[in-house]
Amino acid sequence: MTTVLLTGASGFLGQHVLRELVAAGAEVRALSRREETDAVIRKLGGTPVRADVTDVASLTAAMTGVDAVFHTAADTNTWRPHNDAQTRTNVGGAENLLAAAKAASVRSFMHTSSVSAYSHLVHGMLREDVAQRGGDSWINYERTKFLAEQAVRAAGIPFIIFQPSHILGPGDTRNWSRLIAMIDQNRLPGVPPGSGAFADVREIAKAQVRAWQREKFGEAYLLGGEHASFLELVTLIGGQLGRKTPKRALPLPLLKIFAQFKYRVSLITRKPPDITPESAMFTCHDLAVDSSKAIRDLDYRATPLPALLADTIAWMRSVQMLR
């Protein structure tokens, strides 16, 4: 039986990847830092291993006998006071994993990156041959995703890189589910003026395991989905929840001014705000993704947005996240 080491196994994407790996017959060791996540991992069929991507010694011990690594863990912070910790996790963590994997003669490394490695500085349709500009970005998350990819490419281990866009689906407790909950509670203050490509977490997990099974080493795959403006997204959510939603997007200058104000207040309170200049930029950007390479190579599919939202909302209701 193939032994896989998985990071981020208790997270939104990581749980789905764990399910797919177990279904594929792999023995999965999943990094875990506390008992609560141990229980989640065991329930999904994995074996929790006490280790942390920032602790080289723990990774070295966890890597013994491992055939492949799936790295899905990441720090998605957008608040500047936490940037140093984010860099240690996203860049240093990837470097630590790669070093431990190389020392243990691990045969392959599957790395979950992000469309953010290309950066908001890139406009138009994203394809894998578009030059990445994450290294030039003022947004730390974009820089760290770019630098982590560079580390993977340079490590000398057969690799596959996955670059998901906005991820939706069952199991989301911290990402777009927050927007859905705000709409359900009639607390949405406004709609940003950008757009995005909305991907199904279940299809992303399946594509990752298929890429590994099909040995698509040396390749990178954009994993997008149906394109929609955030106003269209919010309108769809409101319709499925039976809630009223704004009819127009906020003006871009107003959103940026509001984000700067919230950021400055946060420096006084020392508490992360609900919107930052960085997160505002993400939602002002028009993101379109061409997933044709993944569709061709990995049988990847984009779930229609209304169906994807319906599944996400149904799951949120099942765990009492909605009224």
User: What is the structure's pLDDT at 161?
Assistant: 98
Interior angle at CA 222, CA 216 and CA 223, nearest 5: 100
Out of 118, 141, 221, 263, the active site residue is: 141
251 within some domain: no
249 within some domain: no
Range of the domain at 65: 3-172+197-228+288-304
264 within some domain: no
User: What is the structure's pLDDT at 323?
Assistant: 81
> What is the chain's alpha carbon radius of gyration, rounded to the nearest angstrom?
19
43 within some domain: yes
Mean pLDDT of 104-111: 98
CATH number at residue 79: 3.40.50.720
In the structure, what pLDDT confidence band is assigned to residue 263 with cuts at 50, 70 and 90?
Answer: very high
89 within some domain: yes
DSSP code per residue over 94-111: HHHHHHHHHHTT-SEEEE
Average pLDDT over the chain reads: 96
The residue type at 285: H
155 within some domain: yes
pLDDT tens for each residue of 172-203: 998 999 999 999 999 998 999 999 999 999 99
Look at residue 113 and tell me whether its pLDDT is greater than 90.
Answer: yes
267 within some domain: no
300 is catalytic: no
Look at residue 299 and tell me whether its pLDDT is greater than 90.
Answer: yes
Look at residue 292 and tell me whether its pLDDT is greater than 90.
Answer: yes
pLDDT tens for each residue of 21-43: 999 999 999 999 889 999 999 99
Beta strands per DSSP E along the chain: 3-7, 27-32, 47-50, 68-71, 108-112, 125-126, 159-164, 166-168, 195-200, 219-223, 226-229, 288-289
The residue type at 290: D
41 within some domain: yes
Inter-residue contact 121 to 146 (CB < 8 Å): no
User: What is the structure's pLDDT at 189?
Assistant: 85
Under DSSP, the state recorded for 31 is E
What is the number of domains present in the chain? Answer: 1
Which percentage of the chain shows pLDDT scores above 70? 100
